[in-house]
């Protein structure tokens, strides 16, 4: 099984010697297995865009090591923090049943792993198959600390499609020609939007269209006529992306570790946090074709990185003839306009579960969450700390609460140990004020209230949440990620959600199962799930600048009856604050 195409350049391979290299082989044993890994967080020189950057990596690798596992397997990952920053790791999309201790968001389920400290994440994959990924979940460290987590079917269980000849994981990333932590620090000081990235990347490489990058461009070899599986992950920090392959169609077969009804498309849109599995058949004349990704940008009047990253789909039979003396570049695919919401929406709406699913119908918790940005007024608008629009500071909120992460304890540790004063459980189920969410919103409504508010859910309750984007500052597609759950996306639309007419159009037959879904710019999306995983689970926008401004909240899912419905005790090495 060939899985992950990582180019190790000669100048850095020496650095890798002597380090703990992690290579996963899937053994042929019929039983579930336990995979042991050591992830050493360390700064390493990485050359991109003509410059060498001291980059936070795992085991010196950028992107980090690929985890190849099977449904039912367990993982034991010892994280050794040899970097200068506090860090935690999150296993994005893994349900972590009754085990919030292994989820990772810093100050939510654990205190950070300090420099010099270690923590071992232990978890089992239960009934999940497809592509997930792992990433740092503290400040902006996930800009470079991320890697794939590919879950293969149990031994002897086939895919619900013909077995592909090869598999390749394509991690789409965002590269800053700076230390990303400094970019964040500057933004938090000025109150303005953070600087945009300098490049997008595919498996860490920007590709041919950037300075100094051409030679390192990722190449995907393919044999004429064969079909391969591409596991595409949007690991970019702040940007939704369009993705296409010149002259080729793709067949979508899975998203976020759930199989989908196959459908053919020329372009995919993928939000930060999401994954998309596609089958690709080499049915074109043997040649080299660009694989490319660039921004899908929905925020109005906001600067964004408008560059294009590329990899090369290389027909093997074309290699010899075209490698030498090849003067013309591969063909670039046509990507939609940056603001092509029609294409993005049509793609996302086309995704359906492979077969009929069991959507909860009798709803116990009917939640309506407004999501969006805001502006905090400054008493001294000319202060260097108020460089947001018209002397303000950017903020963001859900239901007018701008989420504040605790600093002296994690939510889960405080809850488990009964430590008071860390959070309250009065998060509002509906917005405190009703207004025309997508209309011209009165400026007096733009400033939310900071708070560390949780919403309590009874074990086993049936939950519906409608995420309503607002036009405060700007309408925008917010990719909302829920930890600890896979939810059904039952409906979506534009404008204001209409509770009397829209639910009639919900899909209860074959809605997709996801862990991250976009709110629709100036629109809404509705999800449903059963609160069957006790613990504290973060819900947030996966655009990291929005997350840091407060576009988040947390659910406190209470224990049910007995041990099998209760949070397991924390591991002995859980970091303390
Ligand atoms: C952000 O961009 C501004 C303008 O280009 C530049 O002056 C500043 O140094 C940048 N800051 C960081 C941290 O990259
Ligand atoms: C990208 O943005 C820059 C600066 O705003 C602009 O000069 C350039 O034309 C844009 N490029 C594309 C491909 O849109
Ligand atoms: C998209 O941008 C183009 C050019 O920047 C503009 O002409 C067009 O009106 C925009 N379309 C939408 C749907 O906003
Ligand atoms: C900033 O002020 C200008 C001039 O008063 C106004 O036109 C603009 O809408 C304001 N922008 C914001 C974001 O408040
Ligand atoms: C909300 O605002 C939009 C955009 O201005 C407008 O088209 C719509 O009629 C308004 N809706 C209501 C209920 O006022
Ligand atoms: C913030 O400032 C704007 C414009 O100066 C004003 O309209 C708004 O009411 C102020 N908001 C608050 C909460 O003071
Ligand atoms: C949010 O709360 C603040 C403080 O009560 C208020 O000024 C503002 O209008 C509220 N905004 C919304 C959208 O509810
Ligand atoms: C790192 O985490 C510890 C424990 O929570 C905290 O005391 C310390 O302030 C953190 N350091 C930074 C730089 O955030
Ligand atoms: Cu957002």
Nearest to 521 by CA among 481, 475, 468, 465: 475
Q: Which residues contact 377 (CB under 8 A, 6 or more apart)?
A: 392, 447
Look up the pTM and report it.
0.94
Nearest to 423 by CA among 447, 392, 455, 397: 455
Q: Which residues contact 535 (CB under 8 A, 6 or more apart)?
A: 96, 98, 99, 100, 103, 109, 412, 484, 557, 567
Q: Tell me the CA–centroid distance for residue 447 and ligand 5, in Å.
A: 21
The one-character DSSP state at 13 is H
DSSP codes joined into one string, 91-106: EET---TT-GGGT--B
**How high is the mean pLDDT of the chain?**
93
Is residue 17 classed as helix, strand or coil in its secondary structure?
coil
* Residue 31, pLDDT score: 82
Q: How many CB atoms lie within 10 A of CB 364?
A: 14
CA dihedral for 97, 103, 105, 108, sign (positive or negative): positive
Tell the residue number behind the tokens 């490049």, with chain if given.
199
Which residue numbers in the chain have pLDDT < 50? 1-25, 322-327
* Residue 24, pLDDT score: 45
Nearest to 174 by CA among 300, 270, 298: 270
148 lines ligand 8 (CB under 6 A): no
* Residue 325, pLDDT score: 43
Q: Which two tokens stand for residue 537?
A: 């689970």
Domain coordinates of the chain in residue numbers? 365-565
Ligand 6, atom 8: nearest CA belongs to which residue? 444
Q: Tell me the CA–centroid distance for residue 543 and ligand 9, in Å.
A: 5
Tell the residue number behind the tokens 């400054």, with chain if given.
378
444 lines ligand 6 (CB under 6 A): yes
Spatial contact of 268 and 260, defined as CB atoms under 8 Å apart: no
Cα(77)–Cα(58) distance, integer angstroms: 12
Spatial contact of 204 and 40, defined as CB atoms under 8 Å apart: no
Cα dist from 144 to 34, 358, 488, 512, whole Å: 27, 38, 30, 29
Nearest to 187 by CA among 574, 449, 562, 544: 544
* Alpha helices (runs of H) in 112-260, residue ranges in sequence order: 180-190
The one-character DSSP state at 503 is G
- Give CA torsion, residues 474, 479, 481, 487, to 10 deg: 120
> Which pLDDT tens digit goes with each residue over 301-352?
899 999 999 999 999 988 555 444 444 689 999 999 999 999 999 999 999 9
Q: Which two tokens stand for residue 255?
A: 């998203």
190 lines ligand 1 (CB under 6 A): no
Cα dist from 40 to 3, 58, 80, 89, 100, whole Å: 22, 5, 5, 12, 22
Kindly tell me the burial class for residue 353, based on how many C-beta atoms sit within 10 Å of its own C-beta (0-12, 13-18, 19 or more). buried
Cα(82)–Cα(99) distance, integer angstroms: 26
> Does the domain made of 365-565 have the CATH classification 1.10.760.10?
no
Ligand 1, atom 12: nearest CA belongs to which residue? 183
Q: Tell me the CA–centroid distance for residue 439 and ligand 9, in Å.
A: 19
* Residue 29, pLDDT score: 54
Cα(388)–Cα(382) distance, integer angstroms: 10
Cα(88)–Cα(79) distance, integer angstroms: 9
From first CA to last CA, the distance across the chain in angstroms is 42
* Residue 319, pLDDT score: 58
Q: Tell me the CA–centroid distance for residue 498 and ligand 5, in Å.
A: 12
Nearest-atom number in ligand 5 for the CA of 436 is 1
Kindly tell me the burial class for residue 49, based on how many C-beta atoms sit within 10 Å of its own C-beta (0-12, 13-18, 19 or more). middle
Is residue 144 classed as helix, strand or coil in its secondary structure?
coil
Spatial contact of 363 and 499, defined as CB atoms under 8 Å apart: no
Pocket test for ligand 3, best of 242, 299, 304, 337 (most atoms within 8 A of CB): 337
* Residue 212, pLDDT score: 87
Nearest-atom number in ligand 5 for the CA of 439 is 2
């Amino acid at each position: 099984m060939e899985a992950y195409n990582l180019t190790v350049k000669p100048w850095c391979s020496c650095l890798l010697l002597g380090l703990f290299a992690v290579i996963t082989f899937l053994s042929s044993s019929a039983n579930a297995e336990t995979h042991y890994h050591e992830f050493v967080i360390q700064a390493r020189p990485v050359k991109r865009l003509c410059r060498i950057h001291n980059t936070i990596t795992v085991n010196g690798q950028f992107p980090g090591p690929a985890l190849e596992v099977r449904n039912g397997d367990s993982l034991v990952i010892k994280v050794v923090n040899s970097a200068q920053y506090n860090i935690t790791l999150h296993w994005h999309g893994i349900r972590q049943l009754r085990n919030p201790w292994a989820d990772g968001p810093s100050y939510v389920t654990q205190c950070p792993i300090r420099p010099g400290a270690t923590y071992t994440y232990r978890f089992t994959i239960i009934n999940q198959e497809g592509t997930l990924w792992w990433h740092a979940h503290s400040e902006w460290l996930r800009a470079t600390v991320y890697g794939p987590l590919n879950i293969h079917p149990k031994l002897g269980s086939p895919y619900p499609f013909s077995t592909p000849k090869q598999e390749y994981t394509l991690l789409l990333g965002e590269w800053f020609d700076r230390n990303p932590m400094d970019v964040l620090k500057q933004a938090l000081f000025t109150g303005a939007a953070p600087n945009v990235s300098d490049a997008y990347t595919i498996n860490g490489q920007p590709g041919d269209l950037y300075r100094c990058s051409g030679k390192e461009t990722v190449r995907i070899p393919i044999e004429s006529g064969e079909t391969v599986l591409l596991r595409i992950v949007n690991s970019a920090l702040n940007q939704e992306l369009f993705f296409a392959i010149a002259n080729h169609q793709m067949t979508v077969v899975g998203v976020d570790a759930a199989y989908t009804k196959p459908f053919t498309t020329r372009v995919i849109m993928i939000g930060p946090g999401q994954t998309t599995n596609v089958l690709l058949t080499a049915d074109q004349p043997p040649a080299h074709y660009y694989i490319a990704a660039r921004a899908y940008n929905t925020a109005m009047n906001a600067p964004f990185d408008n560059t294009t990253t590329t990899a090369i789909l290389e027909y093997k039979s074309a290699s010899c003839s075209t490698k030498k003396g090849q003067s013309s570049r591969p063909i670039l695919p046509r990507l939609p306009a940056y603001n092509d919401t029609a294409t993005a929406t049509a793609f996302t709406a086309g995704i359906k579960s492979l077969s009929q699913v069991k959507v909860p119908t009798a709803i116990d918790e009917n939640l309506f969450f407004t999501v969006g940005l805001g502006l905090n007024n400054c008493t001294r608008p000319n202060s260097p700390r108020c460089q947001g629009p018209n002397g303000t500071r950017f903020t963001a909120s859900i239901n007018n609460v701008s989420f504040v992460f605790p600093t002296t304890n994690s939510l889960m540790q405080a809850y488990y140990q009964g430590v008071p004063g860390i959070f309250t459980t009065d998060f509002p189920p509906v917005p405190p004020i009703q207004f025309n969410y997508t209309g011209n919103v009165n400026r007096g409504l733009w400033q939310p209230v900071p708070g560390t508010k949780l919403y309590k859910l009874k074990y086993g309750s049936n939950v519906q949440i409608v995420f309503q984007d607002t036009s405060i500052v700007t309408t925008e597609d917010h990719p909302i990620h829920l930890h600890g759950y896979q939810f059904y996306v039952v409906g979506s639309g534009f404008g204001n959600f209409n509770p009397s007419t829209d639910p009639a159009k919900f899909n209860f037959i074959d809605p997709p199962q996801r862990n991250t879904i976009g709110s629709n710019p100036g629109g809404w999306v509705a999800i449903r799930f059963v609160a069957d995983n006790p613990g504290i689970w973060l819900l947030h926008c996966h655009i990291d600048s929005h997350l840091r401004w407060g576009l988040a909240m947390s659910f406190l899912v209470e224990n049910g009856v007995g041990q099998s419905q209760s949070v397991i005790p924390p591991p002995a090495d859980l970091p303390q604050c």
